[in-house]
């Protein structure tokens, strides 16, 4: 329990304009590709044209002779020099995958890097790539996880006995008994297509030898600079503190830039070998195959309910197509474990069983992307609940209300072993249905149906565990545990405050949020506070920006450090004013006595403290730099309820969202406008998942979605105006903050999927494969043969 917190002028809770946005809006951002060091060499990769093949030979002789080419690096040259990526072991691990930075002997997915060409320009490097001759010996392709798990399947990794990169079974409570005793058991199968984060800025790095005092400096478009630094040191045989990692302005991350990839590590190796800066910018064609994909699940689930629709048990069987390698850092376990383990969401599920598998295939590896397994899990479960509602003739909202974990029931330990507390599931649903006038929506639906129009309504409720502390793993069984991050607060010689944390921003306005919290905690003017966030040389350890954690960790650590710093400031200030420390406080960057009779500015105090230290007793002048680590121990549940109405055109299958109401519980809000932007952004990505986005491969493992004309993300016409409401309740973490970056994509995919299914159900139609493309909608309606 912390002491009473001093809170000053309430910067927290106001939509402070973010200073950090100014360079971006004026065109003076510094993204990775904007970094131009003299003497830079440019890298392009030769990538595999085959999904699975032995590399009989790689002949780069013509490429090496092209004027302007400095070097062509192959996988065999790296053998023995660098450690390949061995998949992060997981408590429930299946096979181990070994990923060479450049393919040796075999390629396992279309797009896998085979050679790195270093040249004076990117254009020349690409010219050289075209001159490299590769002799491929094609091997059988594994392109479907349910085929890939069969005993007679070809193996993606012949060092493994099968293609399971992860497999886990779990049971709590007696599921079979519950199924027998149930009034109704409903079974459904769903297919959720493959996606990718589609950051507008692709990946990239600049690696430089002795650019500053560090042996190696790497700028990387990445979310986790300290983690990258750790692994660079490990894999390149450098001391970690000889390495500096900087995340420049980053054009989107969403989890895709939180894995460790071979390409950047190749560049770092080249920089050390060539002693020149080496730059690689992933172009969009590369990004479509070289950066991690997401989702790609086959989900079979059954729910048992009683006569009133109360859930008795939930059982699921899940196959995830995790691609050719277990992604370095997070492992192939992320999607399979989260889809299965987090499926209950905010609903009381007394008995739970799941069997989940991550099966290797010859496709791009799957890694974390906004909310990971939760959108697919939630959408499947919500669709199942709607089926229960139809069969029992209970209104879908009513059914959910009966099953949501009520506030009075908290803390509530669910059958997936998560404890729900400090979160507003029912209030969110109530507010969405009241603001959305749910009853009227249903009436309008009936009228529409009478006029031959297909209107559908979907509602979804989600639970989102954010700000995970050390006792709660990001994925059950993963050994990589984020959970403690540090913030340094430093009062500078002129009395301004620096907040430093290794929590880079991809637009979440972390700097602004931490400044707001610091302003309130310390009584320092917002304008006098600067935040630095992206550089391992200037910020203390932080795991990074991931899993909706920066509001909790950054703010929590600021609060902890501020408590100590404030005491020091007041002690020193009191001495300088010649009054007891109980008589002073600080506001608006001025230390003053409570009766306002005496005061000293922070600037004056700082200058005296730094430059006239002899005049102040040492115990009152210990320095004004405080670093605090914060571990919230558990996670903080955020929540939401999304209510969506869609119109389906029964001739074309087009789905239009006609109404979107979202209520979320995101805890104590630091900056309302920033939060709103995060939520709506998440909803937009959910719309993409529900209706537009899909990565398609053919049976030979050849990608068919290769450009932005193939992979469709929502445009300004595809995202309706969102009616956003809040039913916030503080978390138990310091400050009462919660993360808010990921929840809304869950709500969106689920609510829209349910709305489409609801529309189709009025004509006896159905849909179980997503995204709900117009064609799948028509098949679901029976207008085209095949069924969805």
Partner 1 sequence: MAREQRIQVTVNGRAYDKVVPVRLSLADFIRENLYLTGTHLGCEHGVCGACTVLMNGRSVRSCLTLAVQAEGAEIVTIEGLRAEDGTRHPMQQAFHENFALQCGYCTPGMLITAIELLRENPDPSELEVREALSGNICRCSGYQAIVNAVLAVARQGAAG
Partner 2 sequence: MKPAGFDYYAPRSVDEAVHVLADAGRDCRVLAGGQSLMPMLNCRIVSPAVLVDINRIEELDRVEATDASLTLGALVRHADLLRNPQIRAGWPLLAEATAYVAHPAIRNRGTVCGSISHNDPAAEQPSILVTLGGTVVIAGAAGRRELPAEKFLTGIMSNALEPGEMVVAVRYPRPVTGTSAAFVEFARRLGDFALAGAAVMLTIRKGVCEQARVTVVGMGDGPFRAHEAEAVLTGSALNGKTSKDAFNEAVAKVVAGVDPSEDVHASADYRRHLAAVMTARALQTAFERSGGA
Residues sharing a CB contact under 8 Å with residue 611, sequence separation 6 or more, in sequence order: 493
Nearer to partner 2, 130 or 564 (CB): 130
Q: Are strands 311-323 and 293-305 parallel, antiparallel or unpaired?
A: antiparallel
> In the bound complex, what is the minimum distance in angstroms from residue 66's beta carbon to partner 2?
11
- State the number of binding residues for partner 1 (CB under 8 A): 56
Nearer to partner 2, 123 or 181 (CB): 123
Considering only residues 70-129, where is the footprint of partner 1 by CB under 8 A?
Answer: 123
Nearer to partner 2, 398 or 651 (CB): 651
What residue 211 binds from partner 1, partner 2, none (CB within 5 to 8 A, per partner kind)? none
The two three-digit tokens of residue 65, written as one number: 């002779």
Give the residue, chosen from 146, 443, 708, 786, that forms a contact with partner 1 under the rule CB under 8 A. Answer: 708
> In the bound complex, what is the minimum distance in angstroms from residue 704's beta carbon to partner 2?
5
Q: Using alpha carbons, select from 686, 750, 693 the residue that is nearest to residue 720.
A: 686
Stretch of residues binding partner 1 (CB under 8 A), selected from 430-438, 678-686, 694-702, 732-740: 678-686
Report the run of H or E that residue 33 belongs to, with start and end: none
Query: If you write DSSP's letter for every residue of 268-336 in order, what string do you get?
Result: HHHHHHH-S-EEEE--HHHHHHHS-EEEEEEEEEEEEE-TT--EEEEEEEEEEEEESS--TTT-TTHHH
The pattern of x and - marking residues 151 through 190 that bind partner 1 according to CB under 8 A reads ----------------------------------------
User: What is the spatial distance between Cα 374 and Cα 372, in angstroms, rounded to a whole number?
Assistant: 6
**Does the protein bind partner 1 through residue 709 (CB under 8 A)?**
yes
Residues at the contact surface with partner 2, assessed by CB under 8 A: 121-123, 126-127, 130, 283-285, 651-654, 692, 696, 704-705, 707, 709-710, 712, 714-715, 717-718, 773-775, 778, 783-785
> In the bound complex, what is the minimum distance in angstroms from residue 26's beta carbon to partner 1?
7
Match 């009025």 to its residue by tokens. Answer: 762
Give the residue, chosen from 397, 428, 606, 684, that forms a contact with partner 1 under the rule CB under 8 A. Answer: 684
**Does the protein bind partner 1 through residue 378 (CB under 8 A)?**
no
| Axis crossing angle, helix 425-435 with helix 438-450, rounded to the nearest 10 | 50
What residue 652 binds from partner 2, partner 1, none (CB within 5 to 8 A, per partner kind)? partner 2
Nearer to partner 1, 213 or 707 (CB): 707
What residue 130 binds from partner 1, partner 2, none (CB within 5 to 8 A, per partner kind)? partner 2
Nearest 5°: the CA angle 269, 275, 277 is 80
What are the Cα distances from residue 365, in Å, to 291, 309, 324, 333?
8, 39, 5, 12
> In the bound complex, what is the minimum distance in angstroms from residue 126's beta carbon to partner 1?
11
What residue 683 binds from partner 1, partner 2, none (CB within 5 to 8 A, per partner kind)? partner 1
User: What is the spatial distance between Cα 508 and Cα 250, in angstroms, rounded to a whole number?
Assistant: 11
Q: Are 166 and 336 in contact (CB under 8 A)?
A: yes
Neighbouring CB atoms inside 10 A of 290's CB total 22
The two three-digit tokens of residue 586, written as one number: 């600080």
> In the bound complex, what is the minimum distance in angstroms from residue 778's beta carbon to partner 2?
7
User: What is the spatial distance between Cα 598 and Cα 424, in angstroms, rounded to a whole number?
Assistant: 46
Stretch of residues binding partner 1 (CB under 8 A), selected from 31-39, 428-436, 530-538, 612-620: 31-39
3-state DSSP assignment of residue 23: helix
User: What is the spatial distance between Cα 327 and Cα 366, in angstroms, rounded to a whole number?
Assistant: 7
Nearer to partner 1, 26 or 618 (CB): 26
Give the residue, chosen from 12, 18, 513, 533, that forms a contact with partner 1 under the rule CB under 8 A. Answer: 18
The two three-digit tokens of residue 694, written as one number: 């899909």
**DSSP bridge pairs for 72:** 117
Nearer to partner 2, 427 or 688 (CB): 688
**Does the protein bind partner 1 through residue 201 (CB under 8 A)?**
yes
**Residue 71, CB half-sphere, CA atoms under 13 Å: how many?**
18
**Does the protein bind partner 1 through residue 742 (CB under 8 A)?**
no
Considering only residues 487-526, where is the footprint of partner 1 by CB under 8 A?
Answer: 506-509
Sites of contact with partner 1 (CB under 8 A): 15, 17-18, 21-22, 24-31, 33-34, 36, 123, 197-202, 249-252, 254, 283-284, 506-509, 673-674, 676-678, 680-685, 707-709, 713-717, 719, 721-722
């Amino acid at each position: 329990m912390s002491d009473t917190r001093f809170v000053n002028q309430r910067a927290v809770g106001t939509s402070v304009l973010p200073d950090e946005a100014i360079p971006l809006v004026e065109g003076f951002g510094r993204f990775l590709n904007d970094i131009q060091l003299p003497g830079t060499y440019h890298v392009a990769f030769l990538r595999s044209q085959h999904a699975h093949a032995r590399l009989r030979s790689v002949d780069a002789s013509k490429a090496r002779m092209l004027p302007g080419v400095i070097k062509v690096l192959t996988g065999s040259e790296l053998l023995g020099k660098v450690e390949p990526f061995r998949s992060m072991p997981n408590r429930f691990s299946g096979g181990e995958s070994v990923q060479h930075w450049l393919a040796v002997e075999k390629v396992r997915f279309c797009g896998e890097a085979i050679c790195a060409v270093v040249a004076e320009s990117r254009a020349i490097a690409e010219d050289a790539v075209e001159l490299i001759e590769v002799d491929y010996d094609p091997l059988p392709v594994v392109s479907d996880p349910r085929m890939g798990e069969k005993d007679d399947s070809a193996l993606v990794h012949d060092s493994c006995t099968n293609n399971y990169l992860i497999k886990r079974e779990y049971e709590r409570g007696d599921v079979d008994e519950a199924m027998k005793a149930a009034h109704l058991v409903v079974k459904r199968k769903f297919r959720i297509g493959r996606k990718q984060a589609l950051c507008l800025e692709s990946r990239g790095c600049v690696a430089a030898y002795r650019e500053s005092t560090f042996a190696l400096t790497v700028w990387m478009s990445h979310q986790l600079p300290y983690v990258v630094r750790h692994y660079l040191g490990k894999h390149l045989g450098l001391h970690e503190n000889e390495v500096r990692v900087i995340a420049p302005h980053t054009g989107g991350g969403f989890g895709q830039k939180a894995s460790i990839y071979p390409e950047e590590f190749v560049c770092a190796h080249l920089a050390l070998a060539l002693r020149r800066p080496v730059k690689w910018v992933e172009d969009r064609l590369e990004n479509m195959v070289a950066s991690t994909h997401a989702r790609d699940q086959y989900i079979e689930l059954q729910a048992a309910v009683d006569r009133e629709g109360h859930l008795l048990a939930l059982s699921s069987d899940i196959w995830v197509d995790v691609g050719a390698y277990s992604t370095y850092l997070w492992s192939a376990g992320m999607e399979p474990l989260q889809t299965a383990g987090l499926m209950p969401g905010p609903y009381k599920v007394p008995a739970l069983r799941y069997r989940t598998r991550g099966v290797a295939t010859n496709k791009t590896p799957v890694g974390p992307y906004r909310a990971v397994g939760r959108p697919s899990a939630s959408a499947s479960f919500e669709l199942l609940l709607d089926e229960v509602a139809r069969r029992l003739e209970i209104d879908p909202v009513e059914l959910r209300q009966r099953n949501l974990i009520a506030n009075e029931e908290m803390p509530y330990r669910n059958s997936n072993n998560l404890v729900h507390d400090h979160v507003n599931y029912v209030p969110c649903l109530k507010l969405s249905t009241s603001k959305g006038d749910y009853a009227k929506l249903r009436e309008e639906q009936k009228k529409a149906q009478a006029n031959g129009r297909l209107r559908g309504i979907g509602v979804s409720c989600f639970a989102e565990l954010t700000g995970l502390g050390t006792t709660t793993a990001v994925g059950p069984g993963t050994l990589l545990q984020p959970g403690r991050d540090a913030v340094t607060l430093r009062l500078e010689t002129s009395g301004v405050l620096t907040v430093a944390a290794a929590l880079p921003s991809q637009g979440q306005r972390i700097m602004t949020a931490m400044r707001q919290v610091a302003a309130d905690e310390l009584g320092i003017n917002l304008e006098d506070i600067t935040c630095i966030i992206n550089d391992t040389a200037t910020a203390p350890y932080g795991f990074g920006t991931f899993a909706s954690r920066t509001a909790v960790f950054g703010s929590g650590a600021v609060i902890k450090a501020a408590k100590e710093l404030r005491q020091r400031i007041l002690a020193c200030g009191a001495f300088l004013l010649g009054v007891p420390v109980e008589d002073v406080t600080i506001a608006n960057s001025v230390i003053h006595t409570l009766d306002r009779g005496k005061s000293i500015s922070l600037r004056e105090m700082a200058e005296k403290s730094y430059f006239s230290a002899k005049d102040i007793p040492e115990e009152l002048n210990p320095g004004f730099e405080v670093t605090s680590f914060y571990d919230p121990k558990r996670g903080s549940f955020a929540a939401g309820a999304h209510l969506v109405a869609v119109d389906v055109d029964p001739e074309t299958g087009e789905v239009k969202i006609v109404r979107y109401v979202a209520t979320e519980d995101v805890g104590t809000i630091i900056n309302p406008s920033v939060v709103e932007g995060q939520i709506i952004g998440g909803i937009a990505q959910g719309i993409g998942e529900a209706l537009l986005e899909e990565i398609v491969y053919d049976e030979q493992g050849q990608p068919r979605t290769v450009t932005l004309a193939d992979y469709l993300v929502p445009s300004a016409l595809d995202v309706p105006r969102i009616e956003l409401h809040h039913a916030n309740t503080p978390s138990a973490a310091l400050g009462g903050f919660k993360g808010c970056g990921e929840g809304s994509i869950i709500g969106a995919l689920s609510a829209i999927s349910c709305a489409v299914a609801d529309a189709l159900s009025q004509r006896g139609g159905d849909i179980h494969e997503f995204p709900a493309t117009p064609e799948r909608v028509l098949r679901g309606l029976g207008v085209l043969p095949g069924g969805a």
